[in-house]
Amino acid sequence: MRHFVPRSLTMAELQVEPQLLNGGDLMEEREDPRAPGTVKKKRRKKKRNKITTPAGTNEAEGDGEARGVADVTKQLEQQTVEDKEREEDGEEVKGQTDPPSIPICELYPSGDFPKGEECEYPPSKDGRSAAWRTTSERESGALDMANEEMWSDFREAAEAHRHVRTYVRSWIKPGMTMIDICEKLEDCSRRLIKENGLKAGLAFPTGCSINHCAAHYTPNAGDPTVLRYDDVCKIDFGTHINGRIIDCAFTVTFNPKYDRLLEAVRDATNTGIKFAGIDVRLCDVGETIQEVMESYEVEIDGKTYQVKPIRNLNGHSIGQYRIHSGKTVPIVKGGEATRMEEGEAYAIETFGSTGRGAVHDDMECSHYMKNFNVGHVPIRLPRAKHLLNVINENFSTLAFCRRWLDRLGESKYLMALKNLCDLGLIDPYPPLCDIKGSYTAQYEHTILLRPTYKEVVSRGDDY
């Protein structure tokens, strides 16, 4: 991405600039009159000349200093007009704003979004190299190009994720309520992904699980929880374009005593990414993750802990509009021998804990998701029918939370929601917690098993 850094103009430059702009006839002669949009651009250039040519350029007609101020004002007006016209013409915008507000699709109007980290596939267990994937027909990219539209959707969602999480790291701090954190993050995500019904938006509620709570916590309305200096907070949020989901998470701490815990989990996640690949057995990925995670010890408040992988939390394959599409990537040994396949997308995520290394349901439920495989089920309650229609229209099979129903103007829906859960149409996903007093951390990336390379599509400069 190109970054535009504004600089101050000297008085000499300001006086020359109008003359350069008035050379519009030269620019117009270079343009092909048959090209679409040429007439429109000619008109705009003439319009710009009218805007940028200062009235009374002779110094004898007024004070030079006052004229300089007027010139600066004209230059700023011109820049604003040109930026708006570039957006209308589909030209590349110079850079993201601070705070970020320009949708990713407008930053890259050509549709050529940044790729993630491209990695070679690991050699198989029998020692056979994976180099054959980059030779002959495969190297030509023919197989890769067949799915280029799908890869592009993932990349656009990933670029939005990177911008949002960089923004979040700039302001998240102790003393903020969890509701404020989640809503500020989600507002930014909606802007950058250019939310558009089920075509583009948030893939699931923002997880902000704290300390012994490892996953699936987001505050419901009225939740007074405040982020504290000694908390370990997992920020887990997703974006999607056309149902192509980016599932990516990181851990936020303020006290350096947790640094070693975060390092252990980050290393385990990167190890899982490194060993994942086409034809790799899922159980082998889990075994390597466990080996790395358990090699770490952390000292917190004078007590030493071996970092334990949370054995009943897993990575998973990702389908279109389906966050968990059937395959699980364990983070301990002994998992299934099912193999990863070409063209699949996976969320490689690991959780480390100073507790028992196992989680259970606890606290008030906030996450829900429509059952992907459920067929027609008769519903008696009118309010339950209405609520299901709202869910189908706004979320389909993507996960949602109670705050999002509130945002849509729904009220007094808890009985209807329970009815849909009892009928098996909606599945609840309550918070998952280890023992109280323990600390848990999480890191996660989305990877694409492309025919020639493995792409860590959500990789950024941060992790």
Residues 6 or more apart whose CB falls under 8 angstroms from that of 211 comprise 231, 232, 438, 439, 440
DSSP track, 130-182: SGGGGSHHHHTTHHHHHTHHHHHHHHHHHHHHHHHHHHHHHH--TT-BHHHHH
Q: Which of 287, 324, 362, 427 is catalytic?
A: 324
What residues contact residue 378 under an 8 Å CB cut-off, 6+ apart? Answer: none
Task: Please tell me which residue in 153, 186, 236, 434 is annotated as part of the active site.
Answer: 236
412, two tokens: 């007094």
Is 410 known as a binding-site position? Answer: no
Given the DSSP bridges, would you call strands 315-318 and 345-353 parallel, antiparallel or unpaired?
antiparallel
Residues forming a β-bridge with 237: 248
Residue 302, CA distances (Å) to 293, 295, 299, 440, 461 in order: 21, 19, 6, 18, 33
Q: State yes or no: is 236 an active-site residue.
A: yes
Q: Which residue type occupies 305?
A: Y
Q: Which of 163, 212, 316, 367 is catalytic?
A: 316
Looking at the DSSP bridge assignments, the partners of residue 120 are: none
Place of tokens 């350029």: 57
Residue 216 marked as a ligand binder: yes
Residues 153, 231, 247, 434: which is the catalytic one? 247
**Known binder of ligand: residue 247?**
yes
In the set 156, 444, 445, 455, the catalytic residue is 444
> Is 444 known to sit in a ligand binding site?
yes
Contact 299, 259 (CB under 8 A): no
CB 265 within 8 A of CB 246: no
User: Is 236 known as a binding-site position?
Assistant: yes
Task: Tally Cβ neighbours within 10 Å of residue 17.
Answer: 17
Are 158 and 116 in contact by the 8 Å Cβ rule? The answer is yes
Report CA dihedral (403, 395, 331, 460) to the nearest 10 degrees.
-80
| 247 in active site | yes
**Residue 349 in marked binding region:** yes
Gyration radius from the chain CA atoms: 27
User: One of 186, 284, 344, 349 is an active-site residue; which one?
Assistant: 349
Q: Which amino acid is at 102?
A: I
Q: What residue numbers does the annotated binding site for a divalent metal cation cover?
A: 236, 247, 316, 349, 444
Q: What residue numbers does the annotated binding site for substrate cover?
A: 216, 324
Q: Which residues are catalytic?
A: 236, 247, 316, 324, 349, 444
Q: What residue numbers does the annotated binding site cover?
A: 216, 236, 247, 316, 324, 349, 444
